[in-house]
Amino acid sequence: MRRVLSPVPVAILCVVLALVALLAYGLSQNEPDRSVEDALARGELEQAPALELPKLSGGGEGSLADYRGEVVVLNFWASWCEPCREESPLLQRWHKRMAGRGGTVLGVDVLDVTSDAQDFIDEYGLTYPMLKDKAGDALEGFGVVAYPETFVIDRDGRIRAVRRGPVDEAFMRTEVAPLLEET
Amino acid sequence: MRRTAATGIALLALLAPAPAAFAQDCPQTTLGDIEDEVMCPVCGTPLGLATEAPQAQRERDYIQSLIDDCRSKDEIKQALVAQFGEEVLALPGDEGDDDLGDVLVYVIPALGILLAAGGIAFAVVRWRGAGPRGGGPAPAGAADSSRVDTDMERYDL
C-alpha cells in the first residue's frame, strides 16, 4: 500500500530547505571578489576598472584615466581606519619619490565624513591627490572589502600588484620601484 | 559695594532665561532616535546595531555634533546623505522620491506572511481531515470479547 506523506511535515521540510538555500546563497554572495589576484597569479595583466569620483577637496571630478601614462599607487582608505594611519607617512614619502619619475599616489577616501578626512590629511601632511567615494561605489570593481587596500597600476592602466592591508617599504620597493623604470 | 552686587544679581536674572529659551528652540533630536533610521554603511547594518565598528563610532560622533548644533532630524539625515549617499538611509521612502519600490518593500513581506499563514492553515486542516476513516476503531468481534472476558477472570479484575 502506498503511504501518502502528510502535508505539514513536507511544508516544514520545504521551508527548512529554502532557508538553507538562502543561507548558502548569502554566504556565496559575501565571498570577496578576488579576480584581480587570480589574474595576477595566472600572469595576466588586467585593465584597472574605470574610476571617476568627486575630488575630496571639492572642485569637480577626478578619474584614474587622468593619470594614464603614470604609475599610480591607488590607495583606498578612511579616517576611521587605524591601519591607514600606519601607512600614510610611507605613502606620502613614496609620493614624493615618484613625483619626478612619472608616478603618483592617488587616495580614495571611502565612506567617511569629509571633515574627518581633511583632518587626517592635515595631520599627516598628505599632498597627493584625493578622491571621495562617499557611498563606496568604486569598491566592488576592485573587490575592496577592508581598509586600507592598495593597487599598483602601470603606465598602461593595468593592475600590476595588490595589497589587502597596509603597505610597507618592502612592498613599495618590490612592486612600485621597478615600474618607475618602465617607459 | 552693595550697588555692584545688586547690579550683578540683576544681570544674572536677565541672562538666566536665555539658555532655557535657547534649549526650547533646539529640536528634541536624540542620537538613539536617529541611530535606528540610518545605516552604518561599512557594517551593512542599522547604526543602532553596529556597536564596536570604528566607522559606526565616527558616524555617531558626527550625528552628535549635528545634534549639538541644534539640527533637526531631517537636517541630520540630509547631512548624512551628503556624506555617505542615499544608502545611509535605513527606512524606505526616506529618500523622498515616493517610488513604487518604497511601497512594495512593505506590501510584499505582508503578502508573504499572509500567504504563508494561509498555506499553513490549509495544510493543517487537510492533515486533520485525512485521519483514519470510518469514524474510529472497528468493533471487536465475539471471539475477541470472549478472550477479554477470560483474561479478566484469570487476573481477577
Give the cell for residue A67: 593619470
pLDDT digits (tens, 9 = 90+) for A47-99: 999 999 999 999 899 999 999 999 999 999 999 999 999 999 999 999 999 99
> What amino acid is encoded at B121 in this protein?
A
- Are B100 and B60 in contact, with CB atoms under 8 Å apart? no
**Which residues of chain B have a CB within 8 Å of the CB of A134?**
82-85
d(CA B62, CA B35): 12
Q: Average pLDDT of A23-48?
A: 84
Does this complex have an ipTM over 0.85?
Answer: no
pLDDT at B6 over 70: no
- Are B50 and B56 in contact, with CB atoms under 8 Å apart? yes
- Are A109 and A130 in contact, with CB atoms under 8 Å apart? yes
Confidence bin at B149 (pLDDT 50/70/90): confident
Give the cell for residue A115: 571633515
Give the cell for residue A128: 597627493
> Among A124-128, B127-131, B137-141, whose mean pLDDT is lowest?
B137-141
| Nearest by Cα to A93 from A148, A172, A157 | A172
Contact A111 B42 (CB under 8 A): yes
pLDDT of residue A160: 96
- Contact with chain B for residue A27, Cβ under 8 A: no
pLDDT at B15 over 70: no
pLDDT at B153 over 90: no
Q: Average pLDDT of B52-57?
A: 88
Confidence bin at B97 (pLDDT 50/70/90): low
What are the structural domains of chain A?
Answer: 35-181 (3.40.30.10)
Confidence bin at B152 (pLDDT 50/70/90): confident
With vertex at residue B126, the alpha carbon angle to CA B123 and CA B132, rounded to the nearest 5 degrees, is: 135
Q: What 3 state SS string does chain B have?
A: CHHHHHHHHHHHHHHCHHHHHHHHHCCCCCHHHHHCCEEECCCCEEHHHCCCCHHHHHHHHHHHHHHHCCCCHHHHHHHHHHHHCHHHECCCCCCCCCCHHHHHHHHHHHHHHHHHHHHHHHHHHHHHHCCCCCCCCCCCCHHHHHHHHHHHHHCCC
d(CA A20, CA A24): 6
Mutation target among B38, B39, B42, B120 for the A interface, most CBs of A within 10 A? B42
d(CA A90, CA A92): 5
**Which residues of chain B have a CB within 8 Å of the CB of A114?**
83
pLDDT averaged over chain A? 92
Contact B57 A80 (CB under 8 A): yes
Of B54, B120, B127, the CB nearest to A6: B127
